[in-house]
């Protein structure tokens, strides 16, 4: 990631990224919106145009930025709009290690079903701020393995809650999440400074956490419910 105050973790699962699904009416052109599941980015974003703040303050996106990002509440979910720093912690791979990431750590907050840390270069996952007086993710119904819809430039990628980070910084996801969304996944210089929406579905959990296809299936169901309930 680009912040020197690094989060615990990167992610992976045995499951490889599922191919993004084109809408049934779209052709496979460069301009066609790409998404996983049946719910469009536009439909999800239409439900998060205003914020009912549930955090006891706001987060920074990086060490050097001001605190400007609230955690917002909706029926069945919480969300925030931020940047994306790249988490490459966890299992060592050719893409994620001390050689590729100056802040690399060999563990993640949540582990695969075999007990190993997650693998950031193949499992789409999101980092949540560690619980603090600012906001306690567990008290909000968010847990390790919970489903997250990550939206960027008309694309929807389903991920899981895979790691925890600094208590005052928000906006981070795994190498695999960034790559799927067309964001530079380089852990040192990649990411994007803005434009990413994270919708975390309350009381959800993918088991095993490393099963990305299960996250997509459950995420699509939860996204449809989110549209109905908000």
Main-chain phi, psi angles of 132, to 5 degrees: -155, -175
- How many Å apart are CA 230 and CA 224, to the nearest integer? 10
| CA 218 to chain CA mean position, Å | 15
Q: pLDDT tens-digit profile of 187-207?
A: 999 999 999 999 999 999 999
Q: pLDDT tens-digit profile of 136-146?
A: 999 999 999 99
Mean pLDDT of 73-91: 98
**pLDDT band for position 35 (cuts 50, 70, 90):** confident
Q: What is the largest CA-CA distance in the chain?
A: 48
Strand 125-129 with 155-165, pairing: parallel
Tokens of 124: 């789409």
**pLDDT band for position 34 (cuts 50, 70, 90):** low
Residues near 80 by beta carbon (within 8 Å), at least 6 away in sequence: 59, 69, 70, 71, 72, 170, 171, 197, 198
Tell me, what's the pLDDT at 213? 97
Name the average pLDDT for the chain.
88
Tell me, what's the pLDDT at 30? 39
Give the least confident one: 5-9, 72-76, 115-119, 135-139: 5-9
């Amino acid at each position: 990631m680009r912040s020197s105050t690094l989060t615990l973790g990167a992610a992976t699962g045995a499951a490889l990224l599922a191919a993004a699904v084109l809408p049934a009416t779209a052709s496979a052109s460069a301009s066609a919106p790409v998404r996983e599941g049946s719910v469009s980015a536009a439909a999800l974003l239409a439900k998060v145009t205003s914020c009912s703040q549930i955090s006891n303050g706001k987060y920074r996106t990086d060490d050097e930025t001001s605190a400007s990002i609230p955690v917002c509440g909706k029926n069945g979910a919480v969300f925030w709009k931020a940047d994306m720093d790249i988490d490459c912690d966890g299992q060592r791979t050719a893409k994620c290690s001390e050689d590729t990431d100056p802040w690399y750590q060999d563990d993640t907050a949540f582990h695969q079903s075999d007990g190993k840390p997650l693998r950031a270069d193949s499992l789409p996952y999101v980092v949540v701020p560690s619980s603090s007086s600012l906001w306690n993710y567990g008290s909000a119904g968010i847990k390790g393995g919970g489903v997250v819809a990550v939206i960027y430039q008309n694309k929807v990628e389903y991920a899981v809650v895979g790691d925890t980070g600094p208590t005052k910084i928000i906006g981070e996801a795994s190498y695999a999440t960034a790559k799927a969304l067309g964001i530079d996944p380089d852990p040192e210089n990649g990411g994007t400074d803005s434009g990413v929406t994270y919708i975390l579905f309350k009381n959800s959990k993918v088991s095993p956490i490393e099963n990305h296809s299960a996250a997509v299936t459950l995420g699509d169901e939860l996204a449809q419910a989110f549209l109905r309930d908000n």
